[in-house]
Amino acid sequence: MNAVLHNDRLLRALLRQPVDVTPIWLMRQAGRYLPEYRAARARAGSFMALCQIPDWACEITLQPLARFPLDAAILFSDILTVPDAMGLGLSFSDGEGPRFARPLRSAADIARLAVPDPEVELRYVLDAVRLIRRELDGCVPLIGFSGSPWTLATYMVEGSSSKDYARIKALLYDQPSVLHCLLDTVARAVTVYLNGQIAAGAQAVMVFDTWGGILAPRAYREFSLAYLAQIVAGLTREAEQRRVPIILFTKGGGAWLEDLAATGCDAVGVDWTVDLGEARRRIGSRVALQGNLDPAVLYAAPERIRAQAAQVLADFGTGPGHIFNLGHGIQPGVDPDRVGALVAAVHELSRSRQPDRGT
Ligand code: CP3
């Protein structure tokens, strides 16, 4: 594994250290908006094959980096590999999204769950991490990731994507102690899984709490935030003589930024419903901020994208601690050239905004 990192802007910014330009990477930067991704998925036969065969996962991770000068790679995988490894039987059917063959239907189902050994049941992910690090050869850092316990539990209990979250919310209000048992098991699974990714070579890790925002404030703190904090407390914080930054992202969590910052994470992801300047005033002295361009801006003309990117940079203001990203993942219908325009604009516009690094 190459210990030299040629572009360490991401890791520096995550630790609120000065950088020459604002680093940028994009959630779902490898995905359906890229024709080469769609071609690879057709050749591999399924989305799961892309995740489970390390050569494919590596190839897809590198696809966006071949097109754009992004400042990080993110492991190509999915958050739902963890419940799959716990025996729920994951599949993705075209246009339908994820589905579990054996969703959790009772307290007994939940009591039976065991924490998977990442080097056994999720070995294909860790092999992909090792391979990607080798192929990146120190070019940019590799971000590992997982879903939050609450977000994973929603899929495990609902069995698929959901409109109303009826089953998981009924469980939350009817049998909170059963839900706590599930969340604790999943939090332990996520902790060893992320530590496995870090040992395999992930240089930063992000936890996606996509559905935290559907919770009432008290329920958010009890059923999502508490387990995010449990994970942060259990993660390896240093590897290869560098700090391994942790990014937490609750979509729709703008009201709880202070709580996220107080978990001990290094950075907080911010969705596009929050003003980034306000987010910085609230928590920017404690953590770095990642975000937060509205993903729909990428449907607009390149000069509009540039103007909107300039606005996000201005909202954050000068000084360290900003990682440019979208407020959520890239939509499949986006023209890749617009992504190129965004990456170029962020690097160009932020160059003049950085105070002298003094090196
Ligand atoms: O960001 C990246 O480029 C890394 C890869 C990545 C994927 N999923 C690939 C993917 C990451 C980080 C994820 C995380 C993920 N997966 C989340 C959290 C982030 C978020 O988007 O809120 C969630 C909720 C999932 C679960 C999931 N995976 C759903 C609901 C779906 C179907 C909906 C959709 O967008 O199609 C997926 C499939 C999925 N995961 C695709 C990709 C590229 C599309 C699969 C395909 O059809 O090729």
| Model pLDDT for residues 119-166, shown as the tens digit of each residue | 999 999 999 999 999 999 999 999 999 999 999 999 999 999 999 999
Q: 3-class DSSP state for residue 15?
A: coil
What pLDDT, in 10s, does the model give residues 310-349? 999 999 999 999 999 999 999 999 999 999 999 999 999 9
- pLDDT at residue 352 is higher than 80: no
- Which uninterrupted H or E stretch holds 173? helix 166-174
What's the rounded mean pLDDT across residues 18-32? 98
**Separation of first and last alpha carbons in the chain:** 27
For this structure, is 266 an active site residue?
A: no
What's the rounded mean pLDDT across residues 241-265? 98
| 358 pLDDT tier (thresholds 50, 70, 90) | very low
- Which uninterrupted H or E stretch holds 292? strand 288-293
- pLDDT at residue 357 is higher than 80: no
Could you tell me the distance, in angstroms and rounded to a whole number, from the CA of residue 298 to the centre of ligand 1?
18
What's the rounded mean pLDDT across residues 216-235? 98
Check: pTM over 0.95? Answer yes or no.
Answer: yes
The CB of 47 under 6 Å from ligand 1? The reply is yes
Q: What is the pLDDT of residue 2?
A: 65
For this structure, is 33 an active site residue?
A: no
- pLDDT at residue 307 is higher than 70: yes
For this structure, is 351 an active site residue?
A: no
The CB of 145 under 6 Å from ligand 1? The reply is yes
- pLDDT at residue 359 is higher than 60: no
C-beta of residue 62 within 8 angstroms of C-beta of residue 135: yes
> Per the structure block, which two tokens stand in for 206?
């992000």
Percent of the chain with pLDDT over 70: 97
For this structure, is 242 an active site residue?
A: no
Q: What is the pLDDT of residue 95?
A: 74
Could you tell me the distance, in angstroms and rounded to a whole number, from the CA of residue 161 to the centre of ligand 1?
12
| 266 pLDDT tier (thresholds 50, 70, 90) | very high
Q: What is the pLDDT of residue 353?
A: 67
Q: What is the pLDDT of residue 354?
A: 62
DSSP state of 222: I
| 70 pLDDT tier (thresholds 50, 70, 90) | very high
Beta strands in 40-162 (DSSP E): 73-74, 90-93, 97-100, 142-147
Question: Please, is 184 exposed, middle or buried when counting C-beta atoms within 10 Å of its C-beta (0-12, 13-18, 19+)?
Answer: middle
Measured from the CA of 50, which atom of ligand 1 is nearest?
A: 48
- pLDDT at residue 111 is higher than 80: yes
| CA–CA dist 253, 17 (Å, integer) | 25
Q: What is the pLDDT of residue 355?
A: 60
Q: What is the pLDDT of the chain when averaged over all its residues?
A: 96
Beta bridge partners of 143: 74, 204
| CA–CA dist 137, 145 (Å, integer) | 20
DSSP state of 268: E
Q: What is the pLDDT of residue 96?
A: 82
- Which uninterrupted H or E stretch holds 246? strand 246-250
- pLDDT at residue 106 is higher than 90: yes
Q: What is the pLDDT of residue 93?
A: 83
Measured from the CA of 210, which atom of ligand 1 is nearest?
A: 22
CB atoms within 10 A of CB 109: 17
